[in-house]
Amino acid sequence: MLFAAEKGDINTIIGGIAPDWGPFGSLGNEARVMVEVVMAVAILLCLAIAIWGAAKQRIGATALRDTFSAEQGKGLIVAGLTGVFIIGSLGTVFTIVYGMAV
């Protein structure tokens, strides 16, 4: 039996957010940390938008019986989760585009 989190630590979790540097390997450590911090803040912001959308949908659909608010909530959920996916994929996209150019 193989346990997926057997050797996991905080670096595994943080490494999932940080991009695979590929073409940007020549960046200094400070620049890498800044890019990682900006990406982490953007992911947290997108997750906050998705949570706000879920709350807006729930409150609009049940308590207020406001279908417009519920539809806005759905849009915010989709926008937030799409943002998380795009930001999480940026490192891979940059590496693929750079590889195609070389």
Structure tokens at 35: 């890019």
* Structural domain range at position 91: 27-101
Is 90 among the domain residues? yes
8-44 pLDDT tens trace: 565 655 565 555 666 666 667 777 778 788 888 999 9
For 71-83, b/e burial (b = at least 16 CB within 10 A) is eebeebbeebeeb
Is 70 among the domain residues? yes
Is 19 among the domain residues? no
7-17 pLDDT tens trace: 656 565 556 55
pTM as predicted: 0.64
Most confident range (mean pLDDT) of 79-83, 85-89, 93-97 is 79-83
Say if residues 39 and 17 touch (Cβ distance below 8 Å).
yes
